[in-house]
Chain A
Amino acid sequence: MSEVNETLIPQLGIVTDIRTDTPDVKTFRVNALDGGKVFEHIPGQCAFLSMPGVGEALFSITSSPTNKEFMEFSIKRCGCVTDWLHSMEVGQMITIRGPYGNGFPVDTDFRHKDLLFIAGGIGLAPLRSVINYVRGNRDKYGKVDIVYGSRSKDDLVDYDEIINEWVNEKDFNVHLTIDREQEGWDGHVGFVPNYVKELGFDTDKTCIICGPPIMIKFTLAGLIELGFKKDQVYTTMELRMKCGVGKCGRCNIGDKYVCKDGPVFRCDQLDEMPSEY
Chain B
Amino acid sequence: MKKMQAANLNDFFRAAAAAETVYLPVDSADGARFMKYEDGVTLSMACNTTRSAKDFFFPQVENLVDFKVDGKKIEVIDGREEVEDFVIFGVRACDLASFEILDRVYLNTPPVDSYYKNRREHGTVITLACGRPQETCFCKVFGIDAADPAGDVTCWMLGDDIYFRANTEKGEKLIAACGSLLTDVDEAPVENAKTAIRAMVDKLPIKDLKLDKISERHLLENFNSSVWKDLYESCIGCGTCTFVCPTCQCFDVREFKTNEGVKRFRCWDSCMYSDFTKMAAGNNRLSQLERFRQRFMHKLVYFPANNDGVYSCVGCGRCLKSCPISMNIVKVAKALGGEANE
Binding site for B on A (CB under 8 A): 1-2, 4-12, 51-53, 55-57, 78-82, 89, 91-95, 238-243, 245-255, 272, 274, 276-277
Is B282 in contact with chain A by the CB < 8 A criterion? Answer: yes
Which chain B residues lie closer than 8 Å to A246 at the CB level? 109
Closest chain B residue, CB of each to CB of A6: B114
Which chain B residues lie closer than 8 Å to A251 at the CB level? 277, 284
Of the candidates A8, A95, A240, the one whose C-beta lies within 8 Å of that of B253 is: A8
CA distance A80 to B114 in the complex (A): 30
- Number of residues from B at the complex interface, CB < 8 A: 54
Q: From residue B27, how far is it (CB to closest CB) to chain A in Å?
A: 33
Of the candidates A10, A247, A254, A274, the one whose C-beta lies within 8 Å of that of B105 is: A247
Closest chain B residue, CB of each to CB of A88: B72
Which chain B residues lie closer than 8 Å to A57 at the CB level? 280
Binding site for A on B (CB under 8 A): 64-65, 67, 69, 72-74, 76, 78, 80-82, 105-106, 109, 111, 113-115, 117-118, 219-220, 223, 249-253, 255, 257, 261-262, 264, 266, 269, 271, 276-277, 279-285, 290, 294, 297-298, 301-302, 305-306
Asked if B305 and A255 sit within 8 Å, CB to CB, the answer is yes
Closest chain B residue, CB of each to CB of A11: B76
Asked if A249 and B223 sit within 8 Å, CB to CB, the answer is no
Which chain B residues lie closer than 8 Å to A7 at the CB level? 111
Which chain B residues lie closer than 8 Å to A276 at the CB level? 284-285, 290, 294
The interface centre, meaning the residue of B67, B74, B223, B252 with most chain A CB atoms within 10 A of its CB, is B74
CA distance A52 to B290 in the complex (A): 32
Closest chain B residue, CB of each to CB of A90: B72
The interface centre, meaning the residue of B69, B257, B261 with most chain A CB atoms within 10 A of its CB, is B69
Asked if B250 and A245 sit within 8 Å, CB to CB, the answer is no
Asked if B219 and A274 sit within 8 Å, CB to CB, the answer is yes
Which chain B residues lie closer than 8 Å to A56 at the CB level? 253, 264
Task: Known A6-B80, A243-B253, A248-B250; judge A91-B284 contact (CB<8 A).
Answer: no
Asked if B65 and A1 sit within 8 Å, CB to CB, the answer is no
CA distance A241 to B285 in the complex (A): 13
Q: From residue B131, how far is it (CB to closest CB) to chain A in Å?
A: 35
CA distance A241 to B280 in the complex (A): 10
Q: From residue A95, how far is it (CB to closest CB) to chain B in Å?
A: 6
Q: What are 9 A-B interface contacts by the 8 Å CB criterion? A: A6-B78, A12-B74, A51-B74, A82-B280, A240-B277, A251-B277, A255-B219, A274-B223, A276-B294
Q: From residue A99, how far is it (CB to closest CB) to chain B in Å?
A: 12
Asked if A254 and B219 sit within 8 Å, CB to CB, the answer is yes
CA distance A89 to B71 in the complex (A): 11
Which chain A residues lie closer than 8 Å to B117 at the CB level? 4
Task: Known A53-B69, A239-B281; judge A247-B223 contact (CB<8 A).
Answer: no
CA distance A5 to B67 in the complex (A): 17
Asked if B72 and A52 sit within 8 Å, CB to CB, the answer is no
Which chain B residues lie closer than 8 Å to A238 at the CB level? 281-282
Asked if B81 and A1 sit within 8 Å, CB to CB, the answer is yes
Which chain B residues lie closer than 8 Å to A11 at the CB level? 76
Which chain B residues lie closer than 8 Å to A5 at the CB level? 114
Asked if B250 and A240 sit within 8 Å, CB to CB, the answer is no
Task: Known A52-B264, A240-B282; judge A247-B64 contact (CB<8 A).
Answer: no
The interface centre, meaning the residue of A4, A57, A79, A239 with most chain B CB atoms within 10 A of its CB, is A4
Which chain B residues lie closer than 8 Å to A248 at the CB level? 250-253, 266, 269
CA distance A80 to B255 in the complex (A): 14
Which chain B residues lie closer than 8 Å to A53 at the CB level? 67, 69, 255, 257, 262
Asked if A95 and B219 sit within 8 Å, CB to CB, the answer is no
CA distance A277 to B81 in the complex (A): 38
CA distance A211 to B39 in the complex (A): 64
Asked if A94 and B78 sit within 8 Å, CB to CB, the answer is no
Q: From residue B293, how far is it (CB to closest CB) to chain A in Å?
A: 9
Asked if B72 and A252 sit within 8 Å, CB to CB, the answer is no
Asked if A95 and B67 sit within 8 Å, CB to CB, the answer is yes
Which chain A residues lie closer than 8 Å to B264 at the CB level? 52, 56
Which chain B residues lie closer than 8 Å to A272 at the CB level? 219-220
CA distance A274 to B220 in the complex (A): 6
Which chain A residues lie closer than 8 Å to B302 at the CB level? 252, 254-255
Q: From residue A8, how far is it (CB to closest CB) to chain B in Å?
A: 5
Asked if B76 and A9 sit within 8 Å, CB to CB, the answer is yes
Which chain A residues lie closer than 8 Å to B284 at the CB level? 240, 250-251, 253, 276-277
Asked if B111 and A245 sit within 8 Å, CB to CB, the answer is yes
Asked if B64 and A52 sit within 8 Å, CB to CB, the answer is no
Asked if A252 and B67 sit within 8 Å, CB to CB, the answer is no
Closest chain B residue, CB of each to CB of A8: B64
CA distance A228 to B223 in the complex (A): 28
Which chain B residues lie closer than 8 Å to A247 at the CB level? 105-106, 109, 113, 249, 251
Asked if A12 and B76 sit within 8 Å, CB to CB, the answer is yes
Task: Known A7-B111, A10-B65, A93-B74; judge A52-B262 contact (CB<8 A).
Answer: yes
